[in-house]
């Protein structure tokens, strides 16, 4: 597995088409994988996010990092995550580091069983609910080339696209990518 430019990773921004690529399963559990996970956590914390998927930093593998703890001291790393036995339904007000300054409400499963591997390749299964369940679903969508705005009705999506275009037009040109969670 070759990870490009660990030091220069930045969050891809919608409408970048690289966000739509399908991610490949991780097969090599090595130092590069751990380095990428650590760098993703650093980027997520620096961006005030609660989750980040590898495709958001232009790495097309099935790796997500999450920390929904109040003190931001409980990082979770999920490799090759799969949702099993989804149950219930909940309205979730979501934003995304790849679609900054946009929030919208979408339906998510209330509870899930998550099957995944850790950084050593060991298999695990956990029952998740609340914000952790929602965040995992959001990040797994990134692994499948989906964004949270894909769930909104067309009329609302047109309004969101206009807002995104307006926000981009009003932004000053900057070097690199900056993100802000609203």
Contact 138, 94 (CB under 8 A): yes
Nearest to 179 by CA among 11, 4, 1, 5: 11
Residues 94, 126, 139, 175: which is the catalytic one? 139
Q: What is the 3-state secondary structure (H, E, C) of 114-180?
A: EEEECCCCCEEEEEEEHHHHHHHHHHHHHHCCCCHHHHCCHHHHHHHHHHHHHHHHHCCCCCCCCCC
DSSP 79-118: EEEEEEEEE--EEEEEEETTEEEEEEEEEE-SEEEEEEE-
Active site annotation includes 101: no
* Cα gap 117→111, rounded to integer Å: 19
Query: Which positions ≥6 away from 172 have C-beta within 8 Å?
Result: none
Cis status of the peptide bond prior to 15, with omega within 30 of 0: yes
Which residues form the catalytic set? 139
């Amino acid at each position: 597995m070759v990870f490009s430019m660990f030091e220069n990773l930045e969050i891809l921004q919608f409408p970048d088409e690289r966000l739509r690529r399908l991610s490949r399963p991780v097969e090599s559990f090595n130092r590069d994988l751990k380095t990428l996970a650590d760098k993703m956590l650093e980027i997520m914390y620096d961006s005030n996010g609660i989750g980040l998927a590898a495709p958001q930093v232009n790495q097309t593998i099935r790796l997500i990092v999450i920390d929904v703890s109040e003190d931001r001291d409980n990082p979770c790393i999920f490799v090759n995550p799969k949702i099993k036995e989804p149950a219930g339904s909940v309205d979730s007000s979501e934003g995304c580091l790849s679609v900054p300054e946009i929030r919208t409400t979408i339906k998510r499963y209330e509870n899930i069983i998550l099957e995944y591997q850790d950084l050593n390749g060991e298999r695990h299964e956990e029952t998740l609910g609340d914000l952790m369940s929602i965040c995992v679903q959001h990040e797994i969508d990134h692994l499948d080339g989906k964004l949270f705005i894909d769930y909104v009705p067309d009329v609302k999506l047109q309004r969101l696209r206009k807002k995104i275009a307006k926000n981009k037009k009003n932004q000053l040109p900057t070097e690199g990518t900056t993100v802000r969670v609203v």
